[in-house]
Amino acid sequence: MKTLVIIGGGASGFFLGANIKSENWKVIILEQAKHPLQKVKISGGGRCNVTNACFNPKELVKSYPRGSKELLSVFSCFQPADTLEWFAQRNIRLKTEDDNRVFPETDSSQTIIDALLHAARENGVQIHYETPVTGILKDSEKFEIKTTHRTYQTDALVVAAGSSSKIWEIISGLGHTIVPPVPSLFTFNCKNDILTDLQGISFPKAELLIPQFKLKESGSLLITHWGLSGPAILKLSSRGAREAAFSDYNFTLRINWVSEKFDHVKENLSQHRSAHPKKSIYSLKLYDIPQRFWKNMLQTLEIKEKTLSDLGKTESNKIAETLTNSQLQITGKSTFKEEFVTAGGVDLKEIDFRTMQSKLIPDLYFAGEVLNIDALTGGFNLQACWSEAFVISRQFK
């Protein structure tokens, strides 16, 4: 019987163990922690957003700023529909929320952990906890895996150790290129008078642009205590993770708060002026803009209380310009609900995505966050782990 060692008892490591049922392979998971699947435990705020109900691989890959091209073949082999089926076969009921995120019906990540543990144990996978890997050597035949208290010989090796700098250092020692890790999925820090005391206010249809990075996003924008958050910001942070890190999180963000053209806003103002000339500019309701934001904006533009008929052309222009093209200086980043992933990891050029095997070292495989693959929020990161692990499992029959 041959031996397969999996480094890392996280989402990808366990899904792999849960899918290898073989009389030819003895499977051992080496996990440095006392308990398995700790990230799955806290995922989705403890509810585990297990996948996303996007069933077209070509659509699905658009949610991966890094890895989209490579994952197409992986998702053609195992995609969210397969994830749903996999859990259904194990009597785990999943539910899809309005935004396509999929959770266990229990709303508890423990349900997912229990299912993975059960399936891995049923397959006879050995799990060695408190076993941190400290080195990997490869001779012509086998791998030698050094841990703090013993050495393992293995015929094949899967590295599923997440975003671990120690493991990246070891892999780099084996000859693989590591794309330097940077955080992804964060919110933007920004101090600007227009945002003062507006935390909690959201704009459902904002358009965002970072000219310096040539990046655009649209969607819901949320004002927070420290700056800006919401789905549109998280998408920008993910797509621009590397550029943002390079700028040391200092860049200009342009915001169209209402997704309207400058001329349209001016036209709208002028129609209100004709219809209600005696109305106060401070009580005007334009595009459902929250009243507190409208007031902040007028004060920032130094427009005093006056009737619409007294509003000058320059002032109208300033309002239209602010609503359609505010320029805010971003000065840093903050964590989003403790959820973050790492952009960076093993260079994708060095992996054969038909098998997830290293192109440099035979019998060495990678899955999960250890690779330079990451996604937007919505269950996509875990789906990549499930799919990559499944592809590997087919090599061990």
**Which residues make up the interface to ligand FAD (CB under 6 A)?**
7-13, 30-33, 38-40, 42-44, 48-49, 132-133, 160-162, 164, 166-167, 338-341, 368-369, 379-382, 385
Cβ proximity to ligand FAD: between 40 and 60 the closer is 40
Q: Residue 283 Cβ, how far from ligand FAD at the closest point, in Å?
A: 43
Q: Residue 103 Cβ, how far from ligand FAD at the closest point, in Å?
A: 8
Strands 94-96 and 101-104: antiparallel
Q: What is the identity of the amino acid at 67?
A: G
* 140 CB burial (10 A radius; 0-12, 13-18, 19+): exposed
Q: Residue 49 Cβ, how far from ligand FAD at the closest point, in Å?
A: 3
Q: Residue 281 Cβ, how far from ligand FAD at the closest point, in Å?
A: 45
Give Dmax over CA atoms of the chain in angstroms.
88
Cβ proximity to ligand FAD: between 12 and 256 the closer is 12
Residue ranges in the chain assigned as alpha helix (H): 11-19, 38-42, 57-60, 68-77, 80-89, 109-122, 165-173, 231-239, 241-246, 262-275, 291-300, 313-325, 380-393
Contact between 219 and 206 (Cβ < 8 Å): yes
Tell me how far the alpha carbon of residue 65 is from its chain's centroid.
Answer: 9
Distance separating alpha carbons of residues 236 and 215, to the nearest angstrom: 7
Distance separating alpha carbons of residues 286 and 290, to the nearest angstrom: 9
Q: Residue 5 Cβ, how far from ligand FAD at the closest point, in Å?
A: 10
Cβ proximity to ligand FAD: between 30 and 190 the closer is 30
Cβ proximity to ligand FAD: between 45 and 180 the closer is 45
Cβ proximity to ligand FAD: between 129 and 246 the closer is 129
Phi-psi domain of 230 (left: phi exceeds 0; alpha: psi -120 through 50; beta: other)? left
Q: Residue 86 Cβ, how far from ligand FAD at the closest point, in Å?
A: 15
Residue with the shortest CB distance to ligand FAD: 10
Cβ proximity to ligand FAD: between 176 and 273 the closer is 176
Q: What is the identity of the amino acid at 343?
A: A
Cβ proximity to ligand FAD: between 124 and 132 the closer is 132
Q: Residue 33 Cβ, how far from ligand FAD at the closest point, in Å?
A: 5
